Structure 1
Amino acid sequence: MTLRIRTIARLTGIREATLRAWERRYGFPRPLRNESNYRVYSRDEVENIRRVAKLISEGLAVSEAIAQVRTTPVGELPVGERLEERFWSAVMMLDGDEADRVLGEARAAMDARTYCDAFLMPLLREMGMRLDIAREHMASALIRQRLRALLLAEDSPPEGPRVLLACPERDMHEGGLLALGLHLKRKGWRVTLLGADTPAEALRSACQQVHPDLVALSCVRRRDPGELQQVLSASVKACAPTLVVVGGPGAREHLKAIFSAGAQYAETAEELVLLWQQARGESNRT
């Protein structure tokens, strides 16, 4: 499978005219020509263009980036970087089987924590900047499957506090939520996962059923402060009197809205646990 220059430009952010100029000046990239004499790019060329674009974004000059990619083939990169490059290349070619195969190879080469924190989550965070909607949907679905498998494979403690994990209504991105669940399980928490797009009424029903010690909401979808406060206020009311802690990139910029809704904010699993411990200590003193 090959890609046309227009697609390469859209996916890398490098203009078609720039790619043609690089080809004339540096002999890079080296596209093939199809029967209509249009430039088409192989998987290897797609991979190299993406690497050059990344190096330029990190501050290298074009000539330096191209030289580095030429002198360090993908096969000579460290294992994690090599697998990342292969994954992005497969996704850009819409080759789901190869992308999933790369994720499997990475799992075999890494322990669960490294696989989650240093491989899968960075891939998930970069998608919005790298991919169009079709490729993002394919890639994120593959990564969520892997994160969910990690979470299910982790043994649940027989005792310990219980956390209810969900994304608020209309928030479909549950990757960070799955990673949080894995970390909390490792800390001795029992995890009940509701997942994406969870309305307040579903939170209410779940809280009445499982009586969690903590409710954690992951907000990735961008909302204005007023909308976020409204959604969180409904969630806090539904979960009362259980502490609700919010995290995620969709919440980070709106701390005032979070606190006004009666929720707390945490960046990490460690911060979340600390907030719960503090709240429990205050409850015991009253």
Structure 2
Amino acid sequence: MAHSLDTPSTPEGPSADQLLPIREVSRITGVNPITLRAWERRYGLIAPTRTEGGHRLYSEDDVDTIRRITGWIERGVAVSKVGRILAATRTQDARARGPRSVIDTGGQRAWQDRLRQAASSFDEPLLDQLLHGVFAVYPVPVAYENVLMPVWRDFAARKESYGQISEWLFFDGFLRLRTLRLLQRDGGAGGRHVLLASIPGMCRELELSVAALLMTTPHTRITVLSPEQPLEELSLVCSRIRPDALVLFSNHKPHGYQPRRLLKLGLGLSCPMVMAGEMADMVQDDIKGTPIGCLGSDGAVMRERLQRFLEGRLDT
């Protein structure tokens, strides 16, 4: 355990028994120690605490950052570019939350643990109670982005052992139904009409529904297209529905991605197009100065930027 090593050289932050040595972090995250050291020394992506003897100790926030780095790399982002994306998403989050107090990550993890246990027990009534509790404590964007979706992603990732596929399907179905209900309750009846589509094969139904929920306002109605909607037929759909804008959402960079194809798609539509999700953070340099807008990946930021885009006030 971490407390068997030297005392950390800095008195601030988590206590020694809350920190993890590099071998334990490697076991938890699947990233070998050599890579962890390179991410720290070469790219400055993580900054573990050092003991007086020079041993690295990692906090839970460091572990979360390592998982995010791994996620970006798995999505096709070069490690040399991950730092800029992490900084941009942190800035988006800070701006969106404004003067609100720092989020209690320990409290969020406690909710996550309770949700995992209830889902693993297939206890739908308990899941409903926990969901009401989460929404009572956190705003909807924070509840989804910091509590619900991390649990959903954990279930999606661990489907190797007996029963884990069933747990994943149960929790996914539970969240999809509740998210749809929230969309029907909160969706604007008039005002602006926005279509939300994804890169086929790059997004699940729940991810699209959550994105729609986070971007919906009383004056903005969002129609969610199927995750399998062909990109080449979006121009047909837009010409018939006549939306005020199309939001193209994905948390993954498409295979064989080329900026000119994205620009060609946007120029071929009868309405303006914006990018959203983590893909938007990946391609924002490519679309800068084009008619295509970038909403980012933070829920509150996406909502605010979408409204600015619809009003013609978002720089592209």
* Smaller-chain TM-score bracket: 0.5 to 0.7
Which consecutive unaligned segments of at least 5 residues does structure 1 have? 1-8, 16-54, 61-77
* Equivalent residue in structure 2 for 1:245, among 274, 288, 294: 274
Quick one: percent identity of the two aligned structures? 17
Name the SS for the 2:175 alignment partner: helix
* Equivalent residue in structure 1 for 2:285, among 227, 247, 256: 256
Identify if the C-alpha distance between structure 1 residues 167 and 105 changes in structure 2 by more than 3 Å, giving closer, same or farther. Answer: same
Contact 1:80–1:106 (Cα < 8 Å) also in 2: no
What is aligned with 2:34?
none
Name the SS for the 1:270 alignment partner: helix
Letter in 2 for 1:256: D
2:139, 2:226 → 1: CA distance? Answer: 21
Residues 165-176 of structure 1 correspond to what in structure 2 (within 5 A)?
165-176=196-207
Letter in 1 for 2:257: E
Name the SS for the 1:172 alignment partner: coil
2:142, 2:134 → 1: CA distance? Answer: 10
1:137, 1:222 → 2: CA distance? Answer: 25
Matched, 1:84 2:99: no
Residue 194 (structure 1) shift? 0.6
What is aligned with 2:177?
145
Contact 2:245–2:310 (Cα < 8 Å) also in 1: yes
Residue 184 (structure 1) shift? 4.0
1:197, 1:125 → 2: CA distance? Answer: 24
Contact 2:202–2:254 (Cα < 8 Å) also in 1: no
* Equivalent residue in structure 2 for 1:227, among 257, 260, 265: 257
Identify if the C-alpha distance between structure 1 residues 243 and 107 changes in structure 2 by more than 3 Å, giving closer, same or farther. Answer: same
Residue 160 (structure 1) shift? 0.7
2:251, 2:126 → 1: CA distance? Answer: 26
Contact 2:187–2:218 (Cα < 8 Å) also in 1: no
Higher relative contact order (CA 8 A, sep 6+): 2
Contact 2:196–2:247 (Cα < 8 Å) also in 1: yes
1:113, 1:269 → 2: CA distance? Answer: 21
Identify if the C-alpha distance between structure 1 residues 223 and 210 changes in structure 2 by more than 3 Å, giving closer, same or farther. Answer: closer
What is aligned with 1:103?
127
What is aligned with 2:304?
270
- The count of aligned residue pairs is 210
Identify if the C-alpha distance between structure 1 residues 58 and 172 changes in structure 2 by more than 3 Å, giving closer, same or farther. Answer: closer
Letter in 2 for 1:124: M
What is aligned with 1:73?
none
The structure richer in helix per residue is 1
Letter in 2 for 1:162: H
Name the SS for the 1:254 alignment partner: helix
The CA RMSD measured in Å over matched residues stands at 3.9
What is aligned with 2:60?
57
Residue 246 (structure 1) shift? 0.5
Contact 1:163–1:212 (Cα < 8 Å) also in 2: yes
Contact 2:135–2:143 (Cα < 8 Å) also in 1: no
Letter in 1 for 2:60: S
Name the SS for the 2:257 alignment partner: helix
TM-score, normalization by structure 1: 0.58
Cα deviations by residue, 1:76-101 (Å, 9 ceiling, x for unpaired): xx98654421212344x4x4x22x44
Residue 171 (structure 1) shift? 1.7
Contact 1:203–1:238 (Cα < 8 Å) also in 2: no
Letter in 2 for 1:132: R
Matched, 1:116 2:140: yes
